[in-house]
Amino acid sequence: MEKTLLIIKPDAVERKLIGDIIQRVERKGLEIKALRMEKVSLEKAEKHYEIHKGKDFYNNLIQFIISGPVVLIVIEGKDCIKVIRAMAGSTSPLEAVAGTIRGDFSTDILENIVHTSDSIETSEKEIKNFFKSLS
């Protein structure tokens, strides 16, 4: 069965949105396979976002994701990668529609509440980075 990684980012943890986001996942009918709260290390952050290395926002992105605790969630379900991405909404706050997580909670392209895997290949890599026992 397909798996994906959802990260509740430091801005959402600080704003006490953990419960709301998890409730959306559960009410959708998806399975939470693993869940952990932690402050991400620089090493893991750089590995997670290595595809963005060299982009103008890369340093800010790394500093942001290690700035406070996050919640790492492995979700399982049919087509869950696409389902969770649709629930998260567009990265651009101008395009994230109401009813999506970003559309409801964020106006910022960097501090955008959640991260979601974008393909089967990336989800496997991302889950492996944070949950050794599931890979």
Cβ contacts of 132 within 8 Å, gap of 6 or more: none
- Beta carbons of 77 and 88 less than 8 angstroms apart: no
- Beta carbons of 81 and 119 less than 8 angstroms apart: yes
Give the separation between CA 112 and CA 105, rounded to whole angstroms. Answer: 8
- Binding ligand CMP (rule: CB under 6 A), the pick from 14, 39, 50, 57 is 57
- The minimum distance between CB 49 and ligand CMP, in angstroms, equals 6
Q: Tell whether residue 13 is a contact of ligand CMP (CB under 6 A).
A: no
Per-residue string for binding with ligand CMP, 61-90, x by CB under 6 A? Answer: x-----------------------------
Q: Tell whether residue 115 is a contact of ligand CMP (CB under 6 A).
A: yes
Residue closer to ligand CMP by CB (options 57, 120) is 57
- Beta carbons of 6 and 23 less than 8 angstroms apart: no
**Which residue from 51, 115, 120, 49 is spatially nearest to 80, judged by alpha carbons?**
120
Active site residue 115: yes
Q: Known catalytic residues?
A: 115
Question: Which positions touch ligand CMP (CB under 6 A)?
Answer: 52, 57, 61, 91, 109-110, 112, 115
